[in-house]
């Protein structure tokens, strides 16, 4: 007893269906694994200071840009600044033109990779676009820090 169809036409159809299923499955797996590398997780400066952020993997870091921390490096193109969540700080280096809304004392999110020195080498910097808006993860991290500070002062 054979599990293969008896006629040649049915065998061809079965082979075609199996090739299509295998091909579509392979394409779906390739798409899923490719998109995984494009994902980036948000980390606060405190989470990075606690060693929770991976090195050499794309992450997002957000907080308030520390006043007086923005400076241009010797190459004239790279900007370095410090982002804080009111508890810990992280240094960010960005090569390029900062957004118009970027300012010290305002919220910003930097997207890039941490290097071995603990500096985030950003390939994208986002600045908040109005006085009231702040990315939800940044807002949550800052509220948590303020809540902890208010409990400590009581």
What's the pLDDT score for residue 35? 63
Query: What is the share, in percent, of the chain residues with pLDDT greater than 90?
Result: 39
CB atoms within 10 A of CB 44: 28
Contact 68, 104 (CB under 8 A): yes
Structure confidence by residue, pLDDT tens digits, 1-17 = 577 788 899 989 999 99
Which residues fall within 8 angstroms of residue 118, CB to CB, at 6 or more apart? Answer: 48, 90, 91
Query: What is the share, in percent, of the chain residues with pLDDT greater than 70?
Result: 86
Mean pLDDT in residue range 18-47? 84
**pTM of structure:** 0.63
What's the pLDDT score for residue 39? 66
Q: What is the DSSP string of 23-69?
A: HHHHHHHHHHHHHHHH--EEE-HHHHHTT-SPTTSEEEEEEEEPTT-
Contact 121, 93 (CB under 8 A): yes
What's the pLDDT score for residue 57? 84
User: Confidence class of residue 37 from pLDDT cuts 50, 70 and 90?
Assistant: low
In the predicted model, is pLDDT for residue 43 greater than 80?
A: yes
Angle at 143 between CA 141 and CA 97, to 5 degrees: 55
Structure confidence by residue, pLDDT tens digits, 64-121 = 999 999 999 999 899 999 999 888 999 999 998 898 888 898 889 999 999 888 899 9
């Amino acid at each position: 007893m054979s599990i293969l169809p008896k006629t040649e036409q049915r065998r061809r159809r079965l082979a075609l269906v199996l090739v299509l299923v295998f091909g579509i499955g392979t394409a779906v797996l390739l798409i899923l694994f490719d998109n995984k590398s494009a994902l980036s997780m948000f980390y606060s400066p405190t989470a990075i200071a606690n060693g929770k952020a991976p090195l050499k993997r794309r992450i997002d870091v957000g907080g308030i840009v520390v006043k007086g921390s923005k400076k241009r490096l010797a190459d004239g193109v790279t900007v370095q600044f410090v982002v804080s969540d009111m508890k810990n700080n992280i240094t960010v280096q960005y090569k390029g033109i900062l957004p118009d809304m970027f300012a010290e004392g305002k919220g910003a999110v930097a997207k890039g990779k941490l290097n071995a020195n603990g500096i985030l080498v950003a390939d994208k910097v986002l600045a908040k676009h109005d006085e009231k808006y702040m990315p939800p993860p940044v807002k949550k991290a800052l509220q948590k820090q303020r809540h902890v500070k208010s409990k400590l002062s009581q």
